[in-house]
């Protein structure tokens, strides 16, 4: 039986990510009429590649492999064997990488591309602002590529500046820590994707993160405040899995704090980098692993439903990763092995609620975490990969 008859996605032959030939088709959500095509550019897949690196290398006994050393293949997951429509696609490191674990991505992972396309179509009058649209991922190798969707192999937005560069990015440092030694002492707070890489918070770091994130809730009017999260990347010598331990949280000072936004200024970054440098001089494995911030406003203006007094839990909360949080995380942690986004928020009736989000399917999604009573990075062996600078 044909796999398509079983409802299973058909995996097309792998193609290099530089020639992924993925295109989005935007349609009017009401009529289904085609609005136009938008090519998926190589830089649209940067987060996908970083996630594939994490899942197929860092979490599979190979923390020594750097992202810049890898090449990737794309396998479109076709809906049928006679059309270009895809459920999504798989991304996998290509040989000679010692691992070829495929990581699946859905059409949702390309939402930013659809948003860009919609803006373009609004600009040229093919779509009205506010008009609902849907999009479909299509695999269109060269011969059947539709007009107006020529492949874009690199970032065409870059100005054609001519200068030479040499990649001097530092190698990844990690601690070798048997994970079970931590799990035996940890308290689990499960949520969302159980397969996500594990994140441990030292209890004092968690308390500091919450304190700084909720600090803005005591001002009038409440504003967003937050902390950066410092921690160590760890590799388990037994399972080969990779995980993160958050060891400290530091208040973001000098930031522009508003009711619905938190903007790190250059002064904020100056302080963070000075702090990080000082900490890394003592413990090289420490790095910036994420941030926490407070959504210190009442969702729905604090309007609760009639049944609220009888409900044990109010499920109208503001614990979600906003579009701004998504964009900030993509920009700040591009190509980083992990990016934690911890949000401390409120329910409509003022209960304190919180959630951890990390990139999965190339977007921030809620997941669980563990809390540890303590963790001493200097007690564990620190490893580092060897790397040769790459010129371009």
Partner 1 sequence: MKALTPSPVKPAALAGSRRGMLHFEARDVTGTHVIEARNVQPATPAGAVATALASRMALPPNVPWMMRNDSTGAVLEEEKPIGDQLQAGAKVVLSPKAHLG
The binding site for partner 1 (CB under 8 A) comprises: 16-18, 42-43, 46, 49, 67-72, 112, 116, 153-155, 157-159, 161-170, 224, 226, 256, 260-264, 266-267, 269-270, 272-273, 276, 287-288, 291, 293, 322-325, 327-328, 330-336, 390-392
Q: Taking Cα atoms as reference points, which of 388, 371, 312, 310 lies closest to residue 347?
A: 312
Phi, psi dihedral angles at 133 (to 5 degrees): -140, 160
CA distances 77 to 27, 34, 93, 314, Å, are: 20, 21, 17, 39
- Per-residue burial over 173-211, b if 16 or more Cβ lie within 10 Å, else e, is bbbebebeebeeebeebeeeeeebbbbbbbeebbebbbb
Q: Which is nearer to partner 1, 268 or 347 (CB)?
A: 268
In terms of CB distance, is 66 or 198 closer to partner 1? Answer: 66
Residue found under tokens 């030479």: 164
Q: Please say which residue, 68 or 303, places its beta carbon nearer to partner 1.
A: 68
Distance CA 47, CA 330 (A): 7
Q: Please, what is the minimum distance in Å from the beta carbon of residue 166 to partner 1?
A: 4
**Shortest distance (Å) from residue 124 CB to partner 1:** 18
Whole-number minimum distance, CB 277 to partner 1, in Å? 9
In the bound state with partner 1, the residue whose beta carbon lies nearer, of 127 and 227, is: 227
Quote the least distance from Cβ 312 to partner 1, whole Å.
29
Minimum CB separation of residue 281 from partner 1 in Å reads 13
SS3 category, 315: coil
For 27, the enclosing helix (H) or strand (E) is strand 22-28
The contacts of residue 81 (CB under 8 Å, 6+ apart) are 2, 4, 10
Taking the least distance from each CB to partner 1, the nearer of 283 and 332 is: 332
Smallest separation (angstroms) from partner 1 to the CB of 234: 17
Angle 121-122-125 (CA atoms, 0-180°, nearest 5)?
85
> For residues 298 and 286, what is the distance between their CA atoms, to the nearest angstrom?
35
Of 293 and 360, which CB lies nearer to partner 1 in the complex structure? 293
In angstroms, what is the minimal distance from the CB of 239 to partner 1? 25
User: Residue 86 or 252: which CB sits closer to partner 1?
Assistant: 252
d(CA 265, CA 154): 30
């Amino acid at each position: 039986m044909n796999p398509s008859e079983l409802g299973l996605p058909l995996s097309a032959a792998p193609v290099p990510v530089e020639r992924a030939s993925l295109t989005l088709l935007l349609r009017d959500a009401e009529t289904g009429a085609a609005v136009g095509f938008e090519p998926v550019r190589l830089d649209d897949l940067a987060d996908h590649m970083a996630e594939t690196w994490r899942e197929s290398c860092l979490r599979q006994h190979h923390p020594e492999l750097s992202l810049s050393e890898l090449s990737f293949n794309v396998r479109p997951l076709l809906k049928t064997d006679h059309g270009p429509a895809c459920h999504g696609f798989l991304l996998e490191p290509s040989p000679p990488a010692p691992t070829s674990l495929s990581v699946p991505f859905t059409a949702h992972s390309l939402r930013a591309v659809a948003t860009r396309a919609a803006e373009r179509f609004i600009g040229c009058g093919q779509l009205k602002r506010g008009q609902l649209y849907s999009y479909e991922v299509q695999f269109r190798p060269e011969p059947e590529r539709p007009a107006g969707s020529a492949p874009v192999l690199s970032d065409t937005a870059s100005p054609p500046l001519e200068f030479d560069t040499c990649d001097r990015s530092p190698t990844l440092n990690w601690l070798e820590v048997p994970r079970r030694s931590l799990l035996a002492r940890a308290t689990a707070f499960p949520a969302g994707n159980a397969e996500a890489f594990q994140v441990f918070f030292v209890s004092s770091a968690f308390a500091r993160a919450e304190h700084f994130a909720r600090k803005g809730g005591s001002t009038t009017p409440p504003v967003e405040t937050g902390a950066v999260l410092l921690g160590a990347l760890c590799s388990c010598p037994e399972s080969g899995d990779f995980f993160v331990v958050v060891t400290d949280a530091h208040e973001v000072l000098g930031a522009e704090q508003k009711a619905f936004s938190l903007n790190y200024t250059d002064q904020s970054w100056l302080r963070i980098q000075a702090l990080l440098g000082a900490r890394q001089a003592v413990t090289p494995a420490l790095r910036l692993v994420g941030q926490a911030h407070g959504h210190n406003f009442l969702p729905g203006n604090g309007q609760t439903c009639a049944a609220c007094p009888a409900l044990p839990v109010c499920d109208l909360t503001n614990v979600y990763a906003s579009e701004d949080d998504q964009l900030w995380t993509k920009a700040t942690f591009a190509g980083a092995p992990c990016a934690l986004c911890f949000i401390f928020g409120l329910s409509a009736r003022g209960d304190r609620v919180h959630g951890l989000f990390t990139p999965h399917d190339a977007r921030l999604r809620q997941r669980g975490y563990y809390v540890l009573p303590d963790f001493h990075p200097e007690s564990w062996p620190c490893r580092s990969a060897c790397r040769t600078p790459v010129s371009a």
